Amino acid sequence: MDDLAAEFEAERGRLRGLAYRMLGSAAEADDAVQEAWLRLSRADPVDNLAAWLTTVVSRVCLDVLRSRKARREEAFEVFPEPVADADPAGEAELADAVGRALLVVLDALGPAERIAFVLHDLFAVPFDRIAPVLDRTPVAAKKLASRARQRIRGGSPLPAADLARHRRVVEAFLAAARGGDLASLLDVLAPDVVRRADAAALPAGAALEVRGARAVAEETQVFGKRARFAATALVDGAVGVVVAPRGRLVLALAVTVEGERVAAYEVIADPARLAALHVTLA
């Protein structure tokens, strides 16, 4: 048993990464890995331990995803306060390593699509091994991964050069917001920039619309620390921002870029509007 435990521990990190991409929750990922260990400890000797564990963890994750369909995971405040050293499970580090935008997009997939995509595209598992996990044929599993890939990567009507420029501007805005750097914010905001927002995105009494670079920059400074949860993404085909604590979308910014500056952005927080957005990787 000691040898088996040592072999399992050698696989734990990979399995946790696999389960986290499938579930978007560090706690649930750890539970899935622990369930795999319990099953292994009761199983007959296994020839290909890595493959066996991958299959078991994937099936456990599939069951979790299916049971989650009728509910949502814990709700987050619109602007959750980041608290230093308040994350013993390392959830923030996992989310940053995986990519918050990817987690948001994965969360929009159906359970079978998500499992097929993660296994094949992120962990290079062949479709003949994915098929039994999903109770599908290899051809059907391939179609699921392909459909997921199209939804994740999406596209934009913008020419490639414009898309790259917009991405550069939005990333500069996000970097300045994270740093709370007023000068950098003023550099990236157009003089007559407009910030609009859903009421749900703002503290009580805050203006739904703010105009002018300094006013918008100063407001962004106040909320800038929440930008640690943010990442660039395509929002309805344009480069924007998603704010996703633990990979769960709570805000999206639809950004208008003109030249090398942000001309306007809208903060979307209403649940119905968020659900209607088409978010893909930028």
Nearest to 64 by CA among 107, 14, 99: 107
Structure-token match 């994937």, residue found: 58
Does one domain contain both 169 and 244? Answer: yes
Does one domain contain both 8 and 148? Answer: yes
- Per-residue pLDDT tens for 191-246? 999 999 999 888 888 899 999 999 999 988 877 667 878 899 999 999 999 998 87
Does one domain contain both 25 and 64? Answer: yes
Of 25-39, 70-84, 116-130, 234-248, the poorest mean pLDDT is in 70-84
Asked whether residue 75 carries a pLDDT value surpassing 50, the answer given is no
pLDDT of the residue at 157? 87
Amino acid identity, position 27? A
Domain boundary among 153, 181, 201: 153
Q: For residue 54, what are the CA distances in angstroms to 9, 123, 255?
A: 14, 10, 40
- Per-residue pLDDT tens for 1-24? 688 899 999 999 999 999 999 999
How many domains does the chain contain in total? 2
Read off the CATH number of the domain in which 49 is found: 1.20.140.160
pLDDT band at 78 (very low <50, low <70, confident <90, very high): very low
Structure-token match 């009580």, residue found: 204
User: Where are the extended beta strands (E) located within the chain?
Assistant: 189-197, 209-211, 230-235, 238-243, 251-258, 261-268, 279-280
Average pLDDT score over the chain? 88
Read off the CATH number of the domain in which 254 is found: 3.10.450.50
Does one domain contain both 22 and 149? Answer: yes
At 266 the three-state DSSP class reads strand
How far, rounded to the nearest angstrom, does the alpha carbon of residue 133 sit from its chain's CA centroid?
24
Does one domain contain both 124 and 186? Answer: no
Nearest to 131 by CA among 149, 112, 157: 112
What is the value of pTM for the model shown? 0.81
- Per-residue pLDDT tens for 157-204? 889 999 999 999 999 999 999 888 899 999 999 999 999 999 988 888
Does one domain contain both 99 and 231? Answer: no
- Average pLDDT on 249-270 reads 95
What DSSP state is assigned to residue 238? Answer: E
Domain boundary among 122, 153, 184: 153
Q: Identify the domain containing residue 224 by its residue range.
A: 160-280
> What's phi and psi for 158, nearest 5 deg?
-75, 145
Q: How far apart are CA 230 and CA 95, in angstroms?
A: 11
Does one domain contain both 88 and 185? Answer: no
Does one domain contain both 164 and 264? Answer: yes
Share of the chain above pLDDT 70, in %: 91
Does one domain contain both 62 and 24? Answer: yes
Asked whether residue 96 carries a pLDDT value surpassing 80, the answer given is no
